[in-house]
Structure formats: C-alpha cells, structure tokens
Amino acid sequence: MSASPSTAAEPKSGPVGDAGAPPVRGTRGAAKRRSSAVRGGERLAGYTFMTPWLIGTAVLTIGPMAWSLYLSFTDYHLIRGGDWVGMANYTAIFEDPMFFRAVRVTLLYVVIAVPIKLVASLLVAMLLSQQRRGMGFYRAAFYMPSLIAMSVGVALIWKALFSNDGTQDRFMSAFGWDGGGFLGNPEVSILMLVLLAVWSFGAPMVIFLAGLMQVPQELYEAADVDGASKWRKFVHITLPMLSPVIFFNVLMETVGAFQLFGPAYIIGGDAGAPAWSTLFYTVRIYSLAFTDFRMGYASAYAWLLVLAVGIVTIVMFRAAGRLVFYAGEDGR
C-alpha cells in the first residue's frame, strides 16, 4: 500500500528533472516527501469520510462472515454454544441426502431460469430499443415488475395464482391439463419460481437495452449494403457487439439465481413443499439454522455455497476470455 502513492508521485517530480540541471538528490527527495505527505493527509481524510461505510462493512459483513467461517468448524448451538469439531461438518454434508436434494433443486432452477430470463429480456430489449412514440412508457412498464418481484406480497399472489383452481389451473385445464395447480404438484412446482424470475427480467433488460443502443449503426448499414438478412445481422453484429453485456448479465443472474431465497421460502416454506421440490440450497440453510438450531452445520453449508459460486464465477471468467469480444481491442 505505501509503495503505490510514492510511485504515483514520480511523474510530479518530473518537471524538476526537466528543468535542465541534473536532478539534485535533496530537492527531489523533499518534493517526494512533501507530495506523499499531502497524499497521506488526503488519504486519511478519504478514509475518515469512509468510516461509516468501513465500520458498516467490518461489523455487518466481514465480521459475521469470519464468525460464520469459524462456526462452520464447530457444532455451535443457539443457546448452548459449541465446541470445535474440525472438518466434521463438511464431511457430514457429503453424507447428507438432503444436501444432494437441495443442490439438485438449485441447479435445476439455475439451468432453467437463467437462460429463459436472459433470452426473454434480450428479446424485449430489442423491441424496446426501437425509436417509437411512447417508448419511455413501455420501458418503464416492462421494468416495473422487477422492482416488486422479490417482495412478500408478490410471492403470496404467486401462491394464489398457482393453487388448485387458481388462474393457472383453470387456464391450463381449458387445454386439457389435469395436473392441478403447480403449487401442490412436485413435478412442476419449480416452474412457479422460474416464471417469477422471468417475469422480473427488468434489470438485465435495461442493461441489454443500454448495450443495444451502443452498437454503431454504420455496422448495420454496411451489412444492409451487402444484403445481409436480419438473422445474419443479429448473429454477426448484434451478438458479438453485445457479448460483454451478455457476459455481465449471465454472471450476475447466475450468481443471483444460486442465492434465491425469499420467494422460495414464502411459496414452499422451510420444508420446500411440495415434497422437497422447492428445497433450495438457501432454504435448507435457513431451516438447519433456525428450525433445527444447528448453526455450525448450517454455516458449513453456507460456506460450500460461497465456494461453489466462486468456482462458477472463475470458470465463467475463463470462458469469457475466449467468448467475449470487446470493441476496440485489436487482434481479437
């Protein structure tokens, strides 16, 4: 840390050396000292202004995280406390059938929900990127659901929509469906949460929209001159130019999907009803911690999630190196 400000100060001492005379050691050193003193003061002021945030992060994020990492090596119980058990929690997890259920449900959700949500948001973003009258209204209207989608109220409405004799059941029954409401049917119950995710595509849509606006029009004009079809333009211009934005959205949505909790908990409860079919990984963590009071074991669960999401992120960044095209980078 202390090295970088003095290195940064180097160019400032440049004019002294350029004055014609050979650089005098003392002057140069003094300038460097003064400059780093000023920098030091600024830095202190900077950190002072940041204290509320720093305290918040230390007390509310880093502290509890470190504590939970410690807990994951104990058999901590809410009242009784706990003892160090080493890796026992971690080895127990891999013999826990509920762990594999929770992983399966979560992966299934990530694999279904993320692509559908991203494709839907890209399609809508392409519609909304056109210059038409009243476009501002439509953009706001399509963005709106994402503001409320994670709320308790919407989850309760969702539950009602997908119950027996609810909207979905009646609508689908008209086409010969006899599976009842999704709410009570473990085969399809996860679709409720997928649809909730797709319905709330506002955030990636806005980012796609911004990305689409950035694609230079002359590329399309050139393609038009060459007689390219709409599909070719999409595949060879839009997608490559959009790839950094696509990468960002895929990453954010995947990481977010792994952590889905609120709606799943409200719709399926802490048992992941019906029949464990909505037992998301985070729901399992919650019920271990707050129904069973096995805080140590739940912490170990939580850290495995951190690890898994970390690995997924790294893999994505690796893949991005080959798949993502950044405009302006030559030779790529």
From candidates 6, 88, 172, 186, binder to other proteins by CB under 8 A = 186
User: Within 47-76, which residues bind other proteins (CB under 8 A)?
Assistant: 75
Please report how close the Cβ of residue 194 comes to other proteins at its closest, in angstroms.
19
From candidates 184, 240, 244, 262, binder to other proteins by CB under 8 A = 184
Q: What is the Cα 201 distance to its own chain's centre?
A: 13
Question: 202-214 vs 97-128: helix axis angle to the nearest 10?
Answer: 40
Integer-rounded Cα Rg, in Å, for the chain is 27
Largest CA distance in the chain: 93
User: Within 271-290, which residues bind other proteins (CB under 8 A)?
Assistant: 271, 273-276, 290
CA dihedral sign, ordered 296, 301, 302, 306: positive
Nearest to 180 by CA among 155, 193, 194, 162: 162
Q: What is the rounded distance in angstroms from the CA atom of residue 102 to the CA atom of residue 264?
A: 12
Q: Which is nearer to other proteins, 120 or 270 (CB)?
A: 270
262 binds other proteins (CB under 8 A): no
- Adjacent-strand bridge partners of 84: 74
Please report how close the Cβ of residue 278 comes to other proteins at its closest, in angstroms.
12
Q: Which is nearer to other proteins, 98 or 255 (CB)?
A: 98
Number of neighbouring beta carbons within 10 Å of residue 190: 21
Q: Which is nearer to other proteins, 178 or 218 (CB)?
A: 178
DSSP 163: S
Please report how close the Cβ of residue 87 comes to other proteins at its closest, in angstroms.
17
From candidates 6, 129, 163, 243, binder to other proteins by CB under 8 A = 163
293 binds other proteins (CB under 8 A): yes
- Adjacent-strand bridge partners of 81: 77
Q: What angle do CA 149, 150, 156 make, to 5 degrees?
A: 80
Sole window of 119-127, 145-153, 237-245, 269-277 interacting with other proteins (rule: CB under 8 A): 269-277
User: Within 74-113, which residues bind other proteins (CB under 8 A)?
Assistant: 75, 77-80, 97-98
Q: Which is nearer to other proteins, 80 or 133 (CB)?
A: 80
User: Within 117-156, which residues bind other proteins (CB under 8 A)?
Assistant: none
Nearest to 86 by CA among 308, 300, 317, 276: 300
Q: Which is nearer to other proteins, 255 or 271 (CB)?
A: 271
Q: Which is nearer to other proteins, 129 or 163 (CB)?
A: 163
250 binds other proteins (CB under 8 A): no
Sole window of 49-57, 112-120, 183-191, 196-204 interacting with other proteins (rule: CB under 8 A): 183-191
Q: Which is nearer to other proteins, 293 or 325 (CB)?
A: 293
Q: What is the rounded distance in angstroms from the CA atom of residue 325 to the CA atom of residue 241?
A: 7
Please report how close the Cβ of residue 188 comes to other proteins at its closest, in angstroms.
11
Q: What is the rounded distance in angstroms from the CA atom of residue 235 to the CA atom of residue 302?
A: 40
292 binds other proteins (CB under 8 A): yes
Q: Which is nearer to other proteins, 179 or 216 (CB)?
A: 179
Nearest to 196 by CA among 275, 263, 141, 251: 263
Q: Which is nearer to other proteins, 78 or 141 (CB)?
A: 78
Residues 6+ apart with CB under 8 A from 183: 159, 162, 163, 164, 166, 189, 192, 267, 274
Q: Which residues bind other proteins (CB under 8 A)?
A: 75, 77-80, 97-98, 163-164, 180-181, 183-186, 271, 273-276, 290-294, 297
